[in-house]
Structure 1
Amino acid sequence: MKYCFSFLLLFFVTISSQSIYFPPVTGSQWETVSPSTLNWDTTKIDSLYSFLQGTNTKAFLVLKDGKIVLEKYFGSFTRDSNGYWASAGKSLTAFLVGIAKQEGSLSLYDSTSKYLGTGWTSLTPEQEGKIKVINQLTMTSGLDDGVPDPYCTLPSCLIYKSQPGNRWAYHNAPYTLLDGVMESAAGQNLNLFMQQRVKFITGMNGAFFPNGYNNVYYSTPRSMARFGLLMLNRGSWDVTPILTDTTYFREMTNTSNTINKSYGYLWWLNGKESFMLPQSQIVFPGMLSPEAPHSMISALGKNGQILNIVPELNLVTVRMGDAPGSAIEVPTLYNNDIWKILKQVIRYTPTSVKEEPFKTQFNGMVVYPNPATDRINFSTPATVLEVDVYIYSVLGEKVAEGKNITSLDISHLSPGVYQLITKTQGEMSATKFVKTR
Structure 2
Amino acid sequence: MTFRPLLLALILIIHTAAAQQLYFPPLTGAQWDTLSPASLGWNTAAIPELYSFLESSNSKAFIVLKDGRIVLEKYFGTFTRDSNWYWASAGKSMTSFLIGIAQREGSLSINDTSSRWLGTGWTSLPLDKERKITVRHQLTMTSGLDDGVADDDCTLPGCLVYKADAGTRWAYHNAPYTLLDSVIHYAAGTTLNLFFINRVRSKTGMNGGYLRNGYNNVLYSTPRSMARFGLLMLNKGYWGTTAILDDTAYINAMTRSSQSLNPSYGYLWWLNGKNSYMVPGLQTVIPGPLAPAAPSGMYAAMGKNGQFINIVPEMGLVMVRMGDAPDNSLVPFLLNNDIWVRLNAVISGPSGADRPAAVPSFTLSQNFPNPFNPSTSMQVTLPQEAPAELRIFNALGQEAALLHSGVLAAGTHTFRWDASSFAGGVYLCRLQSEGVVRTIKLVVVK
Given the two structures, how large is their TM-score scaled by the length of structure 2? Answer: 0.83
From 240, 260, 263, the equivalent of 1:261 is 263
From 177, 186, 197, the equivalent of 2:188 is 186
Is the Cα–Cα contact under 8 Å of residues 10 and 239 in structure 1 kept in the other structure? yes
Alignment partner, residue 333 of structure 2: 332
From 405, 409, 419, the equivalent of 2:415 is 409
Change (3 A) 1:69 1:199: same
Instruction: Please report how far the alpha carbon of residue 349 of structure 1 lies from its aligned counterpart in structure 2 after TM superposition.
Output: 3.3
CA distance, structure 1, for counterparts of residue 329 and residue 140 of structure 2? 23
Amino acid paired to 1:101 = Q
Alignment partner, residue 305 of structure 1: 307
Unaligned runs of 5+ in 2: 349-353, 365-376, 408-412, 431-438
Change (3 A) 1:402 1:230: closer
Alignment partner, residue 379 of structure 2: 374
CA distance, structure 1, for counterparts of residue 275 and residue 186 of structure 2? 38
Change (3 A) 1:64 1:126: same
CA distance, structure 2, for counterparts of residue 293 and residue 321 of structure 1? 23
Amino acid paired to 1:30 = W
Change (3 A) 1:205 1:356: closer
**Are 2:348 and 1:349 equivalent residues in the alignment?**
no
Alignment partner, residue 228 of structure 2: 226
Alignment partner, residue 26 of structure 1: 28
Is the Cα–Cα contact under 8 Å of residues 276 and 284 in structure 1 kept in the other structure? yes
Is the Cα–Cα contact under 8 Å of residues 284 and 358 in structure 1 kept in the other structure? no
CA distance, structure 2, for counterparts of residue 212 and residue 257 of structure 1? 30
Alignment partner, residue 62 of structure 2: 60
CA distance, structure 2, for counterparts of residue 390 and residue 58 of structure 1? 34
Alignment partner, residue 242 of structure 2: 240
Alignment partner, residue 410 of structure 2: none
Alignment partner, residue 364 of structure 1: none
CA distance, structure 1, for counterparts of residue 282 and residue 239 of structure 2? 37
Is the Cα–Cα contact under 8 Å of residues 289 and 333 in structure 1 kept in the other structure? yes
Listed as ranges, the matches of 1:72-91 within 5 Å are: 72-91=74-93
Change (3 A) 1:72 1:408: closer
Given the two structures, how large is their TM-score scaled by the length of structure 1? Answer: 0.85
Amino acid paired to 1:349 = R
Instruction: Please report how far the alpha carbon of residue 7 of structure 1 lies from its aligned counterpart in structure 2 after TM superposition.
Output: 2.5
From 215, 218, 223, the equivalent of 2:217 is 215
Amino acid paired to 1:159 = V
Alignment partner, residue 435 of structure 1: 441
CA distance, structure 1, for counterparts of residue 86 and residue 326 of structure 2? 15
Change (3 A) 1:187 1:376: same
From 116, 119, 124, the equivalent of 2:118 is 116
Is the Cα–Cα contact under 8 Å of residues 392 and 403 in structure 2 kept in the other structure? no
SS in 2 for 1:36: helix
Amino acid paired to 2:415 = D
Alignment partner, residue 95 of structure 1: 97
CA distance, structure 2, for counterparts of residue 411 and residue 332 of structure 1? 23
How many residues in Structure 1 have an aligned counterpart in Structure 2? 401
CA distance, structure 2, for counterparts of residue 22 and residue 313 of structure 1? 17
From 172, 187, 196, the equivalent of 1:170 is 172
SS in 2 for 1:24: coil
Unaligned runs of 5+ in 1: 360-371, 382-388, 421-432
Instruction: Please report how far the alpha carbon of residue 268 of structure 1 lies from its aligned counterpart in structure 2 after TM superposition.
Output: 0.3
SS in 1 for 2:328: coil
Alignment partner, residue 320 of structure 1: 322
Is the Cα–Cα contact under 8 Å of residues 415 and 434 in structure 1 kept in the other structure? no
SS in 2 for 1:52: helix
1:217-260 residue CA offsets vs partner (Å, 9 max, x unmatched): 00000000000000000000001111111111110000000110
Amino acid paired to 2:341 = K
Is the Cα–Cα contact under 8 Å of residues 285 and 358 in structure 1 kept in the other structure? no
CA distance, structure 1, for counterparts of residue 220 and residue 23 of structure 2? 24
Is the Cα–Cα contact under 8 Å of residues 256 and 265 in structure 2 kept in the other structure? yes
Change (3 A) 1:31 1:401: closer
Superposition RMSD in Å = 3.1
Alignment partner, residue 278 of structure 1: 280
CA distance, structure 2, for counterparts of residue 391 and residue 254 of structure 1? 30
Instruction: Please report how far the alpha carbon of residue 4 of structure 1 lies from its aligned counterpart in structure 2 after TM superposition.
Output: 3.4
SS in 1 for 2:37: coil
**Are 2:298 and 1:293 equivalent residues in the alignment?**
no
SS in 1 for 2:45: helix
SS in 2 for 1:409: strand
Change (3 A) 1:42 1:104: same
Is the Cα–Cα contact under 8 Å of residues 378 and 415 in structure 2 kept in the other structure? no
Amino acid paired to 1:167 = R
CA distance, structure 2, for counterparts of residue 402 and residue 299 of structure 1? 33
CA distance, structure 1, for counterparts of residue 388 and residue 52 of structure 2? 38
Is the Cα–Cα contact under 8 Å of residues 119 and 155 in structure 1 kept in the other structure? yes
SS in 2 for 1:374: strand
